[in-house]
Structure formats: structure tokens, C-alpha cells
Amino acid sequence: MILNTGGRTDTVQYYSEWLLNRFREGYVLSRNPMFPNVINRIELSPDTIDVVVFCSKDYAPILDRLHEISDRFKCYYHYTITAYDTDIEPNVPSIEQSVETLKQLSAQVGKEKVAWRYDPVLLTEKYTIEKHFETFDYMARELSPYVDRCIFSFVEMYKKLAVNMPELQPISDDNKILLVKGLGAIAKQYGLYLQTCAAKDDYLQFGVHHSGCMTTEIFSRALGLNFKHQAHKGNRIGCACMESRGLGDYNSCPNGCRYCYANKDHAKAAENYRRHDPKSPLLLGDVLPTDTIKPAVQKSLIDKWGTLF
């Protein structure tokens, strides 16, 4: 099973104590977002978890203790650093801080296990195509020696963005091509492997690869694993990733990113964060008498012959 610790909230940045507690105790409870009275129990054992995938905008809170997980599990790390300031990402560290923290993470775990996410790519009057090129050039120059690849995607135009980000400009097909060509040229200049995530179009002619961000190819090469042959069913339209199971709850990330799909209500997310108990097996709240706890289906995807190396 592939465990995604950051699909619903930034557990690394805001819930690191809870995350470390859960791995130490060997299990976690996760409330089903579709059926709120159903709770899945996930066993956190190397025998049941093939890869632990982290995805965060700030690894600083967990760096000193990350080894408590990485010493026991195969891990891969997504680090999101975008071009945006606090007007769009209110509680995210600055670009300069994030770049330095990524370098520390890479030195600790190895560059082959770190992917830099430059997403979502969006356009406003302030964040123009030229602004993206300027910022991406700086980041690519700084980060290319420390990451396995860079992954980007275009913003999903969810209906709620009309309220949360009225200044957001639709990205035309022509502007997508301009962005891809420019980002691809910059990546090539610094020897950086660049790929899309959940993209419908193929941009290989511009040096941009088309792939999922959690695939057997990526994990096999980075972690020396030999996976069983399987379809990559993905998690949404256009997604080419392996199936994974997420932790945590929606409406729980205090970053306040205005494009966020996981928070419907930022005020509710801040309230949920304040009532979080790091000692609870659930990220938010407690097990109620009306809840049903079910063991999660956890099947290993690793070939019985073991690792490649």
C-alpha cells in the first residue's frame, strides 16, 4: 500500500507531533470523508506500507525527527514551493526559507527521493507568465542539484475559486503552451527533469515529460523497489499515479492557500487546528459511540522477489 500523508492536509508542517506519534504507536485512524461515521484503522508497519509519501510546504518542523519514520520505512518526499507571496499563501514560509529547508531535507534523505512541486501554476494580474519565468529560473538554479525532478500542474478551476480568488485569470491553451515552453527551456538550462501532473495534453516536444507523481517507475528508481505489474488508476481525471491511501481530514490545513481544494472553509480549518489533539489516533476529534471502526484493506504492491538493488 502507498500511504500519502499529505493529500488532505499538511501533516508535516502542522501535525508533525501527531504524525510521529502515530508511527510510533503503529496505527492511525482515518475518518472516511464520504461516510463520516466510518473510521478506517490503518496499520503503520513496514509489512503493510510499501512507501510513505510526504507532501508539504514546510519540512522544518519535522526535520530533526524525520529519521524516526525514514529509518523504518521507504519514503519519498514532495516539497511544494511556488511563486506566490502571502497574498495567495498566507501562512507558507518565504521562497528563500523554503529553498533552504529543501536543501536540508535533500542532504538528509538524498536528492533521488525529493521532488519539487511547482504547482498549481495560475495567472493573475500580479502573477504573470513573465513573473513565473523569473521566479522559476531562480528556483531551478537553486534547487536542481538537490531534487530528483520538478512537477507542475495548472490550477483546477473549481467553482469555489470564483469566490476565493476572483482575480484569477483563465489560462488559455495558447498561454499554456507559452508557459510550458518557457518552463521547459529553463529546466533544460539547469539539467532539471520537468514533468506535468494530471495534465490532459502531452508536452514532450518542449522537453516536458508526462507522468504521474507517484508511479512505480519513480519509486522503483528512487527506492530500489520492484513492484508488481499494475494499472495506475490515479486519484482524479488526468491523474496517472498509483492508488494511494490518504491520512487526515479536509478543512484542517491552516496554510490558508486561496486555491486550495482540501479546504472549503479556511476559518473552519483554523478552528479544527486549534482543537487538534496530537495524542489522539484521529487527526481531528474523537471516536464517537455512533462510529464504526473498520480495518483498512492493505495489500502490498511489492513483487515477492524483493528489491531491484
Q: What integer is the mean pLDDT of 85-104? A: 97
**pLDDT-derived band at 163, boundaries 50, 70, 90:** confident
**pLDDT-derived band at 308, boundaries 50, 70, 90:** very low
Measured CA to CA in angstroms, residue 198 lies from 9, 166, 203, 211, 214 at distances of: 19, 24, 12, 8, 11
CB hemisphere CA count around 254 (13 angstroms): 15
**pLDDT-derived band at 309, boundaries 50, 70, 90:** very low
Q: What integer is the mean pLDDT of 34-46? A: 95
Q: Is 118 strand, coil or helix?
A: strand
Enumerate the β-bridge partners of residue 63: none
Structural domains of the chain, count: 1
Element (H, E) at 129: helix 129-143
Cα-Cα-Cα-Cα torsion 114, 115, 116, 117, nearest 10 degrees, comes to -140
Q: Is 24 strand, coil or helix?
A: helix
C-alpha angle 209/210/214, rounded to 5°?
Answer: 110
Q: Give me the domain span that covers residue 53.
A: 2-307
Whole-prediction pTM: 0.93
Q: Is the pLDDT of residue 239 over 90?
A: no
Q: Is the pLDDT of residue 177 over 60?
A: yes
Locate 163 and state its grid cell. 469566490
**pLDDT-derived band at 211, boundaries 50, 70, 90:** confident
Q: Is the pLDDT of residue 146 over 70?
A: yes
Enumerate the β-bridge partners of residue 227: 302
Q: What integer is the mean pLDDT of 121-141? A: 98
